[in-house]
Each structure stands twice: as structure tokens, then as C-alpha cells.
Structure 1
Amino acid sequence: MRRDVAALLDEHGRTYADQAGITLRDEPSPLYCLLVLATLSSAPISADVAAATARELFGAGWRTPERMRGATWQQRVDALGRGGYRRYDERTATTLEESAALLLERHGGDLRRLRRDADGDRESLLAALQELPRIGPTGAGIFCREVQAVWPEVAPFFDERGLARAEELGLPTDPADLAGTVGGDPAEVARLSAALVRSALAGGRGGD
């Protein structure tokens, strides 16, 4: 089983945060960037487009809610379009501004405050995330799937698609047992969670 997991990680074990150019740390800017990625990924588009679009936004210098809110609506629309996010660019340009404003108002622009308010309870964290614009259950799940690498209390987190893929591959479907296949290290659990989703999207074939 461990060999199977190692092969899965070798082929699909890149986190979506890494693909989007986010060096994830428990600091305000990378956590905000992860929220942006989760917001983009909440639309019915491919993960590759969401990651490419996130890179465009971050490349424009909008790695904090202050800078995102300070950009003009048209600047955000243009960056979203460059990333391939064209069907939802105008609506999302507004959403990103609203999200940044709400994050600044409620949490001082720092998602660690939202974490602290959740007091280590994952369900409370998921609920709090869904109070932000366009973050529904899917977006909150994406955020938790990635953030568990730096917020250990979230681990082990696997979404329904990942657990379904684990079952298809003959791996444990209990989250704790599944995490045990990589030694329970939160960073490796995050990689495994992403790998299962990528493998499911690839349909058992190479690539994503």
C-alpha cells in the first residue's frame, strides 16, 4: 500500500497552492493567496485555469486584501482574462473586491484571526470560511485541503472526491487511516489529498 501511495504522490502529488505559485506559510499574505485560489476554484472551471488565473493576480502584486481592494475593477477583469477566466471575469472582479473588504473589516485582513476564532474546530472553520463571498462548501473544502499543511488541527482533511478515489485505488477511506499511509505528517497529508483529487480528475490516466 505504501508503494502505491508513493507512486500516486510521484505522479500527482503537487498541491494546487504550489501550482498557483503560493509558498504556503502561516502568514497573512500566503493565506490570503490561498483564499483567492479557493475563490477562483469555486466556479465550474478547470483547476489549471484557476491556478493560472491566480498566478496572474499575484503577478500583478495583489497578494494582500489591501492591494486587491486597491486595484481597479477593470484591472482585475483584465488579469482574470489573461489567466483564461473569461466566462466569470466581471462577476469575479467584483467578488474579489467584496471578499477583500469583508476580510479587512472582520479579521483585519488576517485569516489567522479566523483560525483563532474557530478555536481548533474544523467545522467552525468551514462555516466561517463560507461567510466569505463565493466560498461555499466546495471552496471551503479546497481551502482546508491545502491549508492543513500549515494548520495541523485541520488534518487529516480529504474531500468526498478524494475519498472516493482512495476507495477506487484500494486505499483506506477512513481519513486517519489514509493519513497514516504517509505517516500523518500534515504537509504530506495535504499532498496526498491533492494527489487523490488530481488522480480522480485524470481518470486514472497520466496528467491532470
Structure 2
Amino acid sequence: MAGRDEERAVVRALVDAHGETYAEEAGIRLRDTPQPLYRLLVLAHLLSARIKGSIAVASARALHEAGLRDPRRMAGADWQERVDALGRGGYRRYDERTATQLGEAAELLNERWGGDLRRLREEADGDVGELRRLLQEFPGIGPTGADIFLREAQRVWPEAAPYLDAKALQGARRLKLPQDPERLTGLAERTEPAVLAAALVRAAIDKDVAEDSRSTAAS
């Protein structure tokens, strides 16, 4: 079926050129262990603000380089230390509020789930809607932040897959691809859903990504 073959070619071109997850871009080797999951939560928090993704990624790296890589250290750091790390990443517009929220979120994670997001996952007991709701209990994590976290975490939390949220589906629309997550993952063949989701989001936020992918697929 030519239409489906064309769609597969578009997905292949998109993923080949733009299939880096945001966790990978931020230097996070995502595993189902406490520290990488926490770093992903911080990254999702930063990416959910109305700020360039590259700045959010740089700021997540800066927090890590400052030693604020787990909830104990984040909660134990003083507010100015968090502000300064965010500033080094270029995250200046929201730095003061975000520094406060990061501290409060780390305290909540420590107190309620022992600093381990896997315990939050256990509490959700395989219910992705409940996972999304629990994530939004963290200060600074709203629906967008929860979606970002789950888009990436589906790599190690398979019960969430395929997690293609509204932003990913916006990218699919721009690429003239189906809006159904199962059909999209079928077109992606052996590509991980997390990789597909990241590539689709990049198409959603940058029309050149979509245009280049369609052009490459047609050539």
C-alpha cells in the first residue's frame, strides 16, 4: 500500500535524523534506578516551562555538574546554589521560582517515596493515568511535565508504552501521519516508542524538522 509505505519512509527519515531522546541529549543514561529517574524528573520539570528546549537541557546538565543529581542533595542545597546552577545553564527567566520548586519537589520525593521514583511507580500499580496524576503532585510538574516524563520513562517503564502525548501527536499531524499511537508505532517498526515520541515532538516544535523529514522521505 503506497500510502503506508510513504508514511513509513517519513517516520524512518524523521527518526534517523531526530531520534535522540531528551534524556540522551541531557547526558542521562536512563535506567530503572533512582538517580537517572530523578534526573529525568528534573529535566521534565525544566522542559515544561516556556523556554527553549536547549536551555532546559543545558540547565539540567548544570544542576548535575553542581552535584544536585539526587533528591537528597537537591533538598540539602541552599536556594542560591540552585539558582546559580540554573543560571549557568541559561535558565534565567524562571530561575528563582524553579529553584524553590526543585527544593520542594525533592523534599516531597524524599518524605513520601524515600527518594525513589520506583516507589511512586509501585503505588500506581500499572495504572498509567495514576502515574500521571502522582507525578503532578510534585511542585512544578503539571500535565505537560508529567507527559514529558512519561514519554521518556516508557523506555524503562514499559507499562506506559506507547506513550505519545498531545505534543507528539501534534508532530504527527505536521508530518501528515496518523494520529493513533498504535498505528504510529507500527509505522516505526523496530524503533522504541520513546525515540519515536522524542522525534515527533521535535517535529512539533520545529516545522523545518517536519519539512526536512518529508523531503528526505520523498527523495
Question: Which among 30, 33, 38 is matched to residue 32 of structure 1?
Answer: 38
Sequence identity percentage:
60
- Alignment pair present for 1:168 and 2:174: yes
What are the residue-to-residue correspondences of 1:1-208 with 2, within 5 Å? 1-183=7-189, 188-205=192-209
Supply the RMSD in Å over aligned alpha carbons: 1.5
Deviation of the 1:16 alpha carbon:
0.5
Deviation of the 1:23 alpha carbon:
0.6
Q: Aligned partners of 1:36, 1:168: CA distance in 2, in Å? A: 29
TM-score normalized by the length of structure 2: 0.89
**Quick check: 158-167 or 148-157, which moved more?**
158-167
Amino acid at match of 1:39: H
Gaps of 5+ in 2: 1-6, 213-219
TM-score normalized by the length of structure 1: 0.94
Amino acid at match of 1:80: L
String of CA shifts for 1:78-117, please: whole Å, max 9, x gaps: 1100100111111111111100000001100000011111
**Quick check: 40-49 or 101-110, which moved more?**
40-49
| 8 Å Cα contact 2:172-2:179 kept in structure 1 | yes
| 8 Å Cα contact 2:33-2:118 kept in structure 1 | yes
Gaps of 5+ in 1: none
Structure 1 residue ranges, 4+ long, deviating more than 6 angstroms after superposition: none
Go from structure 1 to structure 2 and tell me whether the alpha carbon gap of 1:184 and 1:152 turns closer, same or farther (over 3 Å shift): farther
Q: Aligned partners of 2:117, 2:62: CA distance in 1, in Å? A: 22
Q: Aligned partners of 2:54, 2:164: CA distance in 1, in Å? A: 20
**Quick check: 156-165 or 80-89, which moved more?**
156-165
Amino acid at match of 1:159: D
User: For 2:29, what is the secondary structure of its paired residue?
Assistant: coil
Greater Rg by CA: 2
Amino acid at match of 2:196: L
